[in-house]
Chains A and B, each alone.
Chain A
Amino acid sequence: MLSPYRVLDLTNERGLLCGQILGDLGADVVQVEPPGGSPARSIGPFYGGEAHPDRSLFWWAYNRNKRAVTLDLDSARGRELFLRLVRSADFLIESDEPGRMAARGLGYDDLATANPGLIYVSITPFGQEGPKAHYAATDLTVWAAGGPLALAGDYDRPPVRVSVPQAFLHGCADAAVGALVALFARHATGRGQHVDVSAQHSVTQATFGATLYKPLGLAQGHRVSGGITYGPLTMRWVYPAKDGYVSVSLLFGSAAGPMTHRLMAYICEEGFCDEATRDKDWDGYYELVFSGREPVEEFERVKQVVESFTKTRTKAELLRAALDRGLLIAPIVTVDEVAASEQLAARAYWRDLEHAELGARVRYPGPFVQFSETPIAYRLRPPCVGEHNRDVFVDELGLSRGELAELEAQGMV
């Protein structure tokens, strides 16, 4: 779909997913790394457990469908070669601290002169401008600064993050959308532009409109393990099963109420509650609790009833019941259970890529969308350091092998 387009991906560990999304969609993505390789290659875990720049599973996760070259952008010769690459590029993605690219003469304004059609995408913790633009940042601190951290965790412990870093991935996925919107703008105007993405801003989406509470004069909910508390009402999603945990959406109102009716009918049928409990007004239950007509203790008892039932059933039994009866229950699964999913197998989700350099076949998460006409192809396994230097510098830019060898000797590539 994007096969006519060339992407130069300069991002470090904060921006890699954006280029991979464009690569999955067919673009020719060239990862440009400093000599010796990207710092992202030092992030674990590692294939076989051994730290090695070509065995970082973090690197593998976000660099499929890319080629890779090394180039020293802090040297004049490196920048000169890079500018030649820029002339034929459609997109450039970078994730340096704001101002750093400009200081090298590689800011948007500099490159737009060389290539007015260039779409220049920046992914940073807080955006290009503003009081926090130069803050030191990591996944945890951006997750804190953007709001989702405060809303998750046990009430008697500090708020808790997702154990696999998320914050910059939100920014990357937004950036891919921004890059494509800018491509449509270019079709109309012939001009590229600067797309400025802030991971902090991107993760605010994960608060479900919580940023609106204060302007609307409302109070935000408070975190509680496996749920959230609004005033007197503690909503709980996590329930024990016989062999682990399940997520149960015990929700009310006209849309979700009918599913709670079905759940309570099932629980009653199985002998875990009486008919009076089954027949409560689940459509109007929020109003009942908030108005005080239903005591909060009674809602607490209802949740205990649900728990007394779920803990007698396995996750698989509860999922089966959810499918058969139209209930809002899902198993809380571990990573190995994800890998063993029958659903993913039935859809041929997983993709194996040959890592000839290791003599191994590696199983990767599959396409993010199934396209009927232009299916996402896993064309290239994540590249080793400098793997495509000759392809790009000799075959495409027209350097001689001797010149490339000289650059290598100078530590330029």
Chain B
Amino acid sequence: MSGDGPLAGVKVLDLMWVMAGPAASRVLADYGAIVVHVESTKRIDTARTMAPFLGGVAGPENSALFQSLNAGKYGVTLDLSSEQGREVALDLVRWADVVMESFSPKAMRAWGLDYQSLRAIKPELIMLSTCLMGQTGPLAGFAGFGSLASAISGFHNLTGWPDRPPAGPFGAYTDTFAPRFTAAAVLAALEYRRRTGRGQYLDQSQAEASLHFLAPALLDYTTNGRVLGPLGNRDPAMAPHGVYPAAEEERWVAIAVEGDAQWRSLCDLMGRSELAAEARFATATGRLACQDELDGIVASWTRGRSARELEALLQSRGVAASAVESSSDLSEDEQLRQRDLLVDVEHEVHGTIPVEGSRLRLSDTPAVIDRAAPTFGRDNHFVLRELLGYGEERIAELVAAGALE
């Protein structure tokens, strides 16, 4: 909770919603920052409407995804379109070290919550804005989800088969890793302020951050003029390299043969030592020239065995392989269980529920995740009274005015 952990004493005002923003502030909460998440009960956070749902039923307090994105945070409901609501927001700005927001540039200006306005109140403020395309440029107003960012950044076109329309990575792909750049940037700005006392404004385009995950392909274009297209599961340097059918229906095993020794081990496992002796398969260059043939050979072997058995057999000989894990496999994966993939928290409505744990393991200062994500307005009183010092009368006025909705 508060007062403990490496980021104890760091105060974050979280004006973010859906996925990419909240995923970044979640990390800060895991390690001790006090994160106050502001939301509206009228314009409901899209994440509250996203599956999976606790109890299997859609509803604003039922999204397990919202829970994982916002566990450990304090929740305040605030109507930012009302004068009183904005006054509370400004008091929260005075309280905070960092303001993180993911609205459109236009909305923040309309509310008087843009950086120019806020730095006048608090010059040492660190403020981060994160949106799909950044605060400036012809597409600054382009709003939407990470699936659009991954399309417009090139990920969709690079996920699929050369002879088919793009398949695209699952979901709002860039939302899953842009937040790590966000969190690193905020921590670096906090470190700079710690030493110098100076705040600043951080403008993050999720698309721009995401392009670092395609950097080799971008450099191949800017230097060599080569436009990479989708490769299916093929790799430019390894063969065989693919996803092969296992004996069970709709089960697969991923296999990557990294070198000639691994190729010989694979031949051995397949009971096909004659292939290991064939000169045309002896080197990666040779194998890359006959991938269709090799894929057929490997698949005819994998079809006879379970995905787990294949993984174990191949790993026993040092060949990189993994069953293609589905969600049900993952929650039971011993490797991930030991890293606290999921942890239990207590929820006001649903009792004990699982949320995703921290992906980082810090030996001396482990993550502490001891609060469920807020139900609507759960922490209104705590935040207004304890953090902002409001009296009961003031709070009652705000409630009566509808500012806390």
5 closest A-B pairs (Cβ-Cβ)?
Answer: A373-B200, A185-B6, A247-B151, A61-B215, A173-B180
Option from A149, A170, A175, A323 in Cβ contact (under 8 Å) with B141: A323
Known: A185-B362, A362-B223. A2 touches B188 (CB 8 A): yes
Q: For the complex, what is the distance from the CA of A159 to the CA of B317, rounded to whole Å?
A: 25
A155-206 CB contacts (< 8 Å) to partner B: 157-164, 166, 169-170, 173-178, 180-185, 187-189, 191, 193-198, 200-202, 204-206
Q: Decide if B191 touches A183 in the complex (CB within 8 Å).
A: yes
Shortest Cβ distance from residue B35 to the other chain A in the assembled complex, whole angstroms: 14
Q: How far is the CB of A324 from chain B (nearest CB, A)?
A: 10
Q: Which of B149, B154, B334, B363 meets A196, CB within 8 Å?
A: B363
Q: Which of A346-382 contact B (CB under 8 A)?
A: 346-347, 349-350, 360, 362-374
CA distance A145 to B200 in the complex (A): 40
List, in ascending order, chain A residues with CB within 8 A of B176's CB.
170, 205-206, 208
| A68 to B220 Cα, complex, angstroms | 23
B144 A159 Cβ-Cβ under 8 A: no
In the complex, chain B residues whose CB is within 8 Å of the CB of A198? 335, 339, 359, 361
Instruction: Say whether, besides A152-B170, A330-B152, A160 and B232 are in contact (CB < 8 Å).
Output: yes
Say whether A238 faces chain B, with CB atoms less than 8 Å apart. Answer: yes
Within 8 Å CB of A256, what residues of B?
46, 49
| A-side contacts of B335, CB under 8 Å | 126-127, 130-133, 145, 198, 200
Cβ B177 vs Cβ A205 within 8 A: yes
Residues of B within 8 A of A173 (CB): 177, 180-181, 184
* Per-position 1/0 for A129-153, Cβ under 8 A of B: 1111101111111111111111111
Q: Do residues A247 and B168 form an inter-chain contact, with CB atoms below 8 A? A: yes
Contacts of B383 in A (CB 8 A): none
Find out whether the CB atom of B157 lies under 8 angstroms from the CB atom of A366: no
Per-residue contact bits, chain A 281-298, to B (CB 8 Å; 1 contact, 0 not)? 000001100000000000
Tell me how far the C-beta of A170 lies from the nearest C-beta in chain B, rounded to whole angstroms: 6
Give the residues in chain B near A144, CB-CB below 8 Å. 243, 252-254, 322-325
Q: Given the complex of chains A and B, what is the CA–CA distance between A11 and B219 in angstroms?
A: 21
Q: Is B402 an interface residue (CB 8 A)?
A: no
Q: Check: B393 CB closer than 8 A to any chain A CB.
A: no
- Can you give 23 A-B contacts (C-beta < 8 A)? A45-B216, A49-B224, A61-B212, A131-B335, A140-B320, A147-B326, A152-B159, A158-B242, A163-B231, A164-B216, A164-B228, A181-B365, A195-B360, A195-B362, A197-B359, A198-B339, A216-B52, A247-B147, A247-B148, A247-B156, A255-B44, A334-B229, A336-B227
Whether the Cβ atoms of A45 and B151 lie closer than 8 Å is no
A91 to chain B, nearest CB (A): 13
Interface size class for chain B? Answer: 35 or more
In the assembled complex, which residues on chain B have CB atoms less than 8 Å from the CB atom of A209? 52, 64-65, 68, 356
Main secondary structure of the interface of A (DSSP, over half): mixed
Fill in one digit per residue for B233-248: 1 if any A CB lies within 8 Å of its CB, else 0.
Answer: 1011110011111000
Q: Across the interface, which residues of B come within 8 angstroms of A367, CB to CB?
A: 208
Instruction: For the complex, give the distance between the alpha carbons of A337 and B318 in Å.
Output: 40
* Whole-angstrom distance between the Cβ of A206 and the nearest chain B Cβ: 4
- Find out whether the CB atom of A47 lies under 8 angstroms from the CB atom of B223: yes
Known: A141-B321, A238-B167, A335-B217. A347 touches B360 (CB 8 A): no
Q: Which residues of B contact A334 (CB under 8 A)?
A: 154, 157, 227, 229
CB distance from B241 to the nearest CB of A (A): 7
- A322–B204 contact, CB under 8 A? no
Asked if residues B243 and A174 are in contact (CB atoms below 8 Å), the reply is no
Partner of B322, one of A145, A208, A240, A343: A145
A138 touches B164 (CB 8 A): no
Cβ of A1 within 8 Å of any chain B Cβ, yes or no, is yes
User: What's the Cα separation between A108 and B363 when bound, in Å?
Assistant: 11
Main secondary structure on B side of the interface with A = mixed
How far, in angstroms, from A135 to B314 measured CA to CA in the complex?
10
B147 contact from A169, A197, A205, A237, Cβ within 8 A: A237
State the Cβ distance, A124 to closest chain B Cβ, in Å: 11
Would you call A332 and B354 a contact (CB within 8 A)?
Answer: no
State which of B173, B208, B361 has its C-beta within 8 Å of the C-beta of A195.
B361
**Residue in contact with A184 in the complex, picked from B147, B187, B360, B363, CB distance below 8 Å:** B187
Query: Cβ of B133 and Cβ of A343 under 8 Å apart?
Result: yes
1/0 per residue B328-357: CB within 8 Å of A?
101111111011011000000000001110
A-chain residues with CB within 8 Å of residue B339 when the two chains form the complex: 127, 130, 198, 201
Contacts of B223 in A (CB 8 A): 47-48, 57, 360, 362-363
A105 at interface by CB-CB < 8 Å: no
* A61-B216, A164-B158, A226-B168 known; A216 vs B54 contact (CB < 8 Å): yes
Whether, in the assembled complex, B272 has its beta carbon less than 8 Å from a beta carbon of chain A, the answer is no
Is B229 within 8 A of A204, CB to CB?
Answer: no
Q: Which residue of B lies closest to A56 (CB)?
A: B216
> How many whole Å from A353's CB to the nearest CB in chain B?
11
Contacts A161-B233, A209-B68, A212-B68: A368 and B185 contacting too (C-beta < 8 A)?
yes
